[in-house]
Structure formats: C-alpha cells, structure tokens
Amino acid sequence: MWLPPALFPMSEVAPVTVGPSEVPDAIFLPLAGLTVLGWTVTYVLAIRQAVVDGRVGIPAYMVAVNFAWEFSLTFVLEQTPMQRQMNAVWLVFNAVLLYQALRIGQRDHPRLSPGLFRWTFAGLMLWTSCIVVVGANEFHDRDGMYTGMIIQVPLSAAFILMLERRGSSAGQSMYIALAKLVGSVFAGLTAFVLYPSHHLLQVLVPTYVVLDIAYAVMLYRMMREEGRPPWAWRPSAAAPEAPAGSGGREPGAGSAPHAGDGNRPEH
C-alpha cells in the first residue's frame, strides 16, 4: 500500500477500560475537597452577583447543561457514593441558578422571544441529560470524569463569549473567575491522579484551564477599563453598562426583576 505507516499505533488496551488508580486518601481527599469547595463558592458568588446586577453569573444555557449533568448523575445513573454526594450538594445551588437563568437569562439573548428562550433552554437540558446518561454508561464513567471534563470545555468558552456579548462586566466578578479556576484546576488534578493513562482527560483539562485563565485576564482588563475595582467586594455606585445593541444591560436592569414585572417565566 502506498500510504506510509501511521505515526502512532492504536493502543492495545482501550485506556477507558483501565480503572482508577489506588490513590491514598491523603492525596485524594484534599484534591476532591478543593474541587467541591471551588465550585460551591463559584455557585454561591454567581447567585449573589445575579441578585446584585440583575444578570446571570453563569451563562444561562450552560446552567441548563450543568443542572442536567448533576441531576442525571445524582438520581438517574449509578455513580460512586462520594460522587453522588458531591453532585447532590452542587445540585442544590444549581437549582437556584436554574431559577435565575429562567427568570433573567433571556436578557443575554435579546433576539430570542421569552417563549423561544424557555423552549430551547428546556430542550438543551433534556438533550444533555440523555447524552450524560448514555455517555457515562458508554464509558462506564462511575465518577463523572469523562462527561464532566467534556462539559467543562464549552462551559469555560461560554464565559468568554458571555463577556464579549455583554460588552461589560455586569453579572461577573473576579472572585467568581478565581473560584471557578480553583475548582476546575483541582478537578483536573483529581482526574490526573485517578486516571493517569486516560489521555483524553489530559487534553481536556489543559484546554479548559487555559480558557479559564484567558477569561480571568479579559474580565480583569474590562473591569479596569470600566473603572470598576476588580477586587472590590461591594458593588460600586454606578453599575457597568453594556454598549447598545450588544445584548447587554437595558435601562433599569441594574437589579433583579420583581415578581410582577411580567418577565418571570412560568414553570
């Protein structure tokens, strides 16, 4: 045959069939604990920032993806006991984020009618649930490593797109960016020590870490341009406004809508 030999032979044993390594608790527990802490803080701060600015702190459609992942791996598909407990904790906070996304997430997608936004949101959540269940089962992913790391890449990219779409730092903070980076990095380190031979994870983790760092740098620069102190805990008197036509903040959008403002979707 005229073609040259392949550069790399196919692995004789599929890496996905290799089970987790025996990792001492002294190594595993700190890594897993910082993963849980980082993401929990991210969710709490994102909820707070959405209340302060009236804009979702996590991209709305990725909230649907996150909620589907956590719900499916908590209640639908078998997982390791520790992973189910972690997912259940995150699911509580994601339920609040889900409510916020349905209520004010459409502001980032002004070209979509409220009804179309809700239908596409629900459709994505259902589709993601199916993909997570069959994907985790296909990979025999009993701790959600493969599905979780795959979802992390578009999630990290979505933060960058959200920042660019809004044209402002509304709904965002450096503390959210930092907590997310911590949770993501330690999730990746956990994957590395548990599955050193799973090379797909070794590609996915650096990809989303680079995206998270890029987002943090972009957010920091935008906040400096706005005159908003990047590390100020309390919001400044003048909330940042997005340029007109960018899908950014509308007049009066500096606070979460009230129950009677007509923007609250039906459940």
Question: What letter does residue 48 receive in the DSSP assignment?
Answer: H
Burial class (CB in 10 A: 0-12, 13-18, 19+), 24: exposed
3-state secondary structure of 84: helix
* Alpha carbons within 13 A on the beta-carbon side of 5: 4
DSSP code string of 229-244: -TT-SSPPSS---PPT
103: tokens are 């209520």
Distance separating alpha carbons of residues 241 and 167, to the nearest angstrom: 8
Could you read off the pLDDT of 28-60 as tens digits, one per residue? 999 999 999 999 999 999 999 999 999 999 999
Count of C-beta atoms within a 10 Å radius of residue 53? 24
Name the residue with higher pLDDT: 9 or 263.
9
Q: Kindly indicate the confidence band of residue 262, based on its pLDDT and cuts at 50, 70 and 90.
A: very low
pLDDT score for 258: 39
Q: Which pTM was predicted? A: 0.85
Could you read off the pLDDT of 73-87 as tens digits, one per residue? 999 999 999 889 999
**Cα 239 to the chain's mean position, in Å?**
24
